[in-house]
Amino acid sequence: MNPEERTSGWQRLTGNPELNLLFFSFLLNFVWEMWQVPYYQDMERAPHFEAVRICTRASLGDGLISVIAFWTAALQGTRRWHLEPRAGPWLIYLATGVAITVVLEWLATGPLERWSYAGAMPRLPLIGTGLLPVLQWLLLPPLTLALMRRQTRNAHRPCGAARAGRER
């Protein structure tokens, strides 16, 4: 095998779509979760570390939802669908994420009583789910997938190719 065609262990790791999705999803969702603190009951009055812990756990859950939605979209053919996105997998990804989010929010604010919305939270008609968690799933995934696509595309270039591109 030509040395330039080999990939290092680091490249294989950084090229893994699910790890990239989880990483970028966590980072973007953490910022969103912190910004929406005022829209959840009693979160503004929570001690700082407690709010960070709650938002971290929520962001990890958001990352897991992203991976599940990604795998669901991959059932259309390949785990590498994000490199050349088509409407089918993209819509499946979004629909799966929104559906999981709506169900989890409904359960958490309803039968499970895990959290409740503050009066400022806009809600969807009929089901009462918060609008911000749904918008979160409509606004962040395009950015998450763009970051993931850039990272995984660069990671799969042969050793030295990325460096050679920067030296030109």
b/e map 61-79, b = 16+ CB within 10 Å = bbbebbeebbebbbeeeee
Size (the chain), residues: 168
Residues 36-80 have pLDDT tens digits of: 999 999 998 999 999 999 999 999 999 999 999 999 999 988 888
- Cα separation, 86 vs 81, whole angstroms: 8
Element (H, E) at 101: helix 87-109
pLDDT at residue number 101: 96
| Residue 45: strand, helix, or coil | coil
Residues 82-123 have pLDDT tens digits of: 888 788 999 999 999 999 999 999 999 999 999 999 999 999
pLDDT at residue number 155: 65
The whole-number average pLDDT for the span 150-156 is 76
Residues 2-17 have pLDDT tens digits of: 444 455 666 666 678 8
pLDDT at residue number 4: 45
DSSP 158: P
Handedness of CA 33, 38, 42, 47 (dihedral sign): positive
* Model pTM score: 0.83
| Residue 119: strand, helix, or coil | coil
